[in-house]
Amino acid sequence: MATMDVVPDGDRMTVSMWGELDLGSRRLLPELYDMLTLSGGGVDLYLDAVGFCDCSGLNALLDLRTRAVDEGKTVTIRSCGVAVERLLDLTGTRELFTDAARPERPAPTVRPDTGPPEESSRELRAEVAQLRRAMQTRPTIDLARGILMASFNLTPEAAWSVLVRTSQNTNTKLHHLAQDLVGTVRGSTLPEQVQRQLSAAVAGASHPDEVATCPTGGPVGDPD
């Protein structure tokens, strides 16, 4: 689980986290919500010391950001380690936590009888599309991780490592790999290169001295 330290910084709250951002991280949300409410402009996150982050952890960050948007504030990731950076890239959510989402000057006043400026409207549509894409891909990624955990008796951390390593070694987007893996439950077949890399990643995560076998069809690691 992650722990955090909070320091006021002008009209914002600076939050430094360390540990693991996973399902247990949701216990931090009530305190983060309080810090957000107490701030004038929002929360700045420093995640350099976070050594592991999965989709549940990202969900918590997105929930915090959604609350911030409702309050007219922002959540910015000022710095992060490899684990968080990789997940933000794979899910396409990095831009939601960057300085680009933090206005540098007051927005122009819009008369009540007019709609939002065209540029703001485009930005809003792009942001909604990014959030929708992230919400659509996370359940599939979590399901694929669950399949690996059940099939090869892996821990949540090891299953996540297998997904990320296979994604990197096959140059496949994580959510595409997850979709293919979930598809094996329905009888589809993984490409041969993916099978080899997945087997190697499972072997490295579970039994380094043994080679795990990934079937060509049917559920991955389907028991007899």
Looking at residue 212, its pLDDT comes to 41
How many H helices and E strands in the chain? Answer: 7, 4
Distance CA 59, CA 80 (A): 16
Distance CA 108, CA 21 (A): 37
Distance CA 149, CA 154 (A): 4
Residue 26's SS3 state is helix
Task: Answer with the residue of higher pLDDT: 106 or 61.
Answer: 61
Distance CA 113, CA 211 (A): 67
Looking at residue 53, its pLDDT comes to 87
Contact between residue 174 and residue 167 where contact means Cβ atoms under 8 Å apart: yes
pLDDT at 141 over 50: yes
List, for residues 153-181, the tens digit of each pLDDT value.
Answer: 888 888 888 888 898 888 888 778 888 88
For the beta sheet containing 42-53, the strands, ordered from the edge strand earlier in sequence to the opposite edge, are: 3-9, 12-21, 42-53, 74-80
List, for residues 51-105, the tens digit of each pLDDT value.
Answer: 888 888 888 899 999 999 888 899 999 999 888 988 888 888 888 898 754 443 3
Q: Note the pTM of the prediction, 2 decimals.
A: 0.48
Task: Answer with the residue of higher pLDDT: 14 or 22.
Answer: 14
Looking at residue 102, its pLDDT comes to 47
List, for residues 190-217, the tens digit of each pLDDT value.
Answer: 899 999 999 999 988 865 443 344 443 4
pLDDT band per the 50, 70, 90 thresholds, residue 106: very low
Distance CA 55, CA 85 (A): 13
CA nearest neighbour of 198 among 147, 142, 134, 136? 147
pLDDT band per the 50, 70, 90 thresholds, residue 113: very low
